[in-house]
Amino acid sequence: MDNLGKEMTFWSLINEYSICIPIIQRDYVQGRNKDQVIDARRNLLCEMRTAIENDGSLDLNFIYGKVHDHDGKKVFIPLDGQQRLTTLFLLHWFSFAQAHDFSKAYVLQRFSYETRTSSRKFIEQLVRNTELLNHAVIDSEQKISDQIRNEAWFWVEWSYDPTVESMLLMLDEIKDRFSDVPDLSVRLESGTNISFRFLDMLDLGMEDSLYIKLNARGRPLTDFESFKAELFKYVKHAANLGLLDQTIAQNFAGKLDGKWTDMFWMWTKDNKENFDKLYMNCFHWMLWNRWAETQKQIEKSNYVITSAMNRTAYYRLNSYKDHGAIDGKILEDLYYTLEYFSLQVTAANSSCSVSNIKGLKYLRKCSLASGAAATYEDRVMLSAITTYISKYKGVGDPKTLGDWLRVFGNLARNSRLDGLDDYIRAVQTIAALSNHCFDLLYYLASPECTFGGFLNEQIEEERLKAKLILRDCEWADAIYTAEKHPYFTGQIAFLLNFAKLDMQNVDDLNDNELKERLKCFESYKAKVDALFNDKGLTVDAQFFSRAVLSKGDYLLAYRRCKSFLIGSHRDISWKTLMRNSNSEKREYFKEVLDELDKHNLSTANIQKCLKEIIERSCVNDWRQYFVKMEGLLEKCGYYRLIYTSPEGRILLVSCQTTAGYNIEYYTYVIHLKLLLQGRSSRYSPDRGQYGEMFIDQIDGKDIRVNYKQNENDNLWKFQIDYNCNQRTEDSVKDVIKYILQI
């Protein structure tokens, strides 16, 4: 026997040796009912059947251990191969029981387990009772496992032995797969269709201490190790079909297990389990990006796809194949992307240098994110970076790569990527623009530029900025700086608008006019920088809202309500107000900026300016009390909502909808004014938009003040009930006057 081992079959091995699975081995797991094991089991049985039926060959690789003499009998103790040998034992037992060849079946008594007493006893009884179980083997309606459990010799306690349970499930699978294979027992006995390379460690000069050390390999493969094994097969297959460059295929496995790993170890904190998860997440999201790129029909939602995307345990290569998420193209993308970044990481000489590698943060974010934790934005940006790098086969020009990532970063952050359809369209747009990786700004600035997949107004903003960047380096610097604002994150169309720039006039401006517009842009930018940080307003939100409201109704719709705006929200934030789609309401914001002193933008001075704006206000419509009085906006809840009925009734909404407790605006104004005059007042809120909200006590007296629709003329008026008398008034001022007289 040479170092490559002796080719043997299970039948030849068990006729030459007794086989004893040692106590230090793990349980038999190939029959367990887990996703990873189910796939491995079915693939193995399928390969075995194919080899037997087609008179082919299946090499099960090396099986090695040590042989020793026990009472004159040669006993083989496997180190590696326990799982495969046990499956072969069960397949042979089934074939002999099916063929009524009980004498051959009894040879299988030479196979035993020492891991647990129950495992050993089960195998002994299984072989000994082969003849009694023959009917269960050939009965197409009955599971072998059910019949065995019903046998008198089967101990109930054996059901708690994971090896026994695994064997029973495997026997059922074997029956399903092999019951119709003709002459199965003969082929297994005399054929060499299923073989392995047998190695005796003693012949190789290996000592017992090495045996014990090597036995640590007995643990099951991790999910990622199983995935890699399948992936390597697919890489070879793709290369053989001409779908993948042969050089990439030859280097793929070595790179994946070699130099590419350094990147992921940086993020794992030396935890092997984390390493596997990060590496797998990277592959997972790249493959799903490829799926998105190839979709012909775009759906808003798909439960099956979303569930597959967001799973956090065990990834099967077949699953990606089934969904069309893997092909030669994505293998190239993976190869060039990981090769590019691994070279960049190797060249970096410090963690600071690594953090400056363009695009690496997107790979890191998706690698760290399992399941639903990976946002559509993150996945779209991963698609952007892989598209650029793969397009030019792992070569990246810092300038054009920076432009590419900056533009798509702005588009992804400031577009609504809410559903599967948004995600697919964004990924497909990136793929469609891949020919402009090296000239993206020139394409954006050209009249031929046309694409979708992202928010149209953000696309137009990127086009206008491209024109300015290409025309003037000072404008380029100003734009790059403005885009870094942590709150507006690349959405600066409002600043360009305030500087009176748009796609229609920018080409007509001469250099001097453009410089004047730049000064205006910088002035507004300075004021915005003073007003906002990464969370939102730096000044008092109530004060600022009242100042803007004095200029006009800037509120944005939210469900059936309107909001005075909050710091962070997709629909009702100050950032949302700055969009071009809200240009009319945005002008009220600009009017406040125009009144701020650009020479003194301290918080204290801004507050002073806001106070003066409020005090000068002459608003006399529904806004007047919100502008002039403190304490009202505080009652509008976290989302700062009001609800206005078709008839004009205004409610201060405490929750996200009117279903919670609400306050009627005008009666609450009266309540606050009474408190300001030193009178006591008790207010009673109510639920829902039709609830009754009113003042129910003033100065300890049972005085009710309500705002109701008059039955006679349908006009909204104040109704005052006191001492069995009812009175109506038209205005807040008249109500206060009357109450003070009581």
Report the chain's terminal Cα–Cα distance, integer Å.
115
Report in angstroms the alpha-carbon separations of 669 from 200, 517, 543, 630, 680. 93, 44, 17, 10, 14
Q: Which helix (H) or strand (E) holds 431?
A: helix 420-432
pLDDT for res 635 = 95
Count helices and strands in the chain by DSSP H and E runs: 34, 17
- Taking the C-alpha atoms of residue 334 and residue 385, their distance in angstroms, rounded to an integer, is 11
Per residue in 664-675, is it b (16+ CB within 10 Å) or e — as a string? bbbbbbbbbbbe
Tell me the three state secondary structure of residue 318: helix
pLDDT for res 30 = 84
Q: What's 600's DSSP letter?
A: -
Residue range 346-363, pLDDT digits in tens: 888 666 677 888 999 999
pTM for the full model?
A: 0.75
- Measured at the CA of 174, the angle between CA 168 and CA 179, to 5 degrees, comes to 130
- Taking the C-alpha atoms of residue 61 and residue 63, their distance in angstroms, rounded to an integer, is 7
- Taking the C-alpha atoms of residue 75 and residue 22, their distance in angstroms, rounded to an integer, is 11
- Taking the C-alpha atoms of residue 359 and residue 381, their distance in angstroms, rounded to an integer, is 9
Taking the CA atoms of 670, 653, 588 and 490 in sequence, report the sign of the dihedral they define: positive
Residues (pLDDT < 50) of the chain are 1-2, 205-219
Token pair for 669: 């104004």
Token pair for 515: 């410089």
Token pair for 456: 């149209």
Q: What are phi and psi of 721, to 5 degrees?
A: -115, 120
pLDDT for res 696 = 95
Query: Are 101 and 185 a contacting pair, CB within 8 Å?
Result: yes
pLDDT for res 316 = 80
pLDDT for res 185 = 93
Beta strands 58-70; 194-200: pairing state: parallel
Of 468, 450, 458, nearest in space to 414 by CA: 458
Per residue in 209-234, is it b (16+ CB within 10 Å) or e — as a string? eebeeebeebebebbbebbbebbbeb
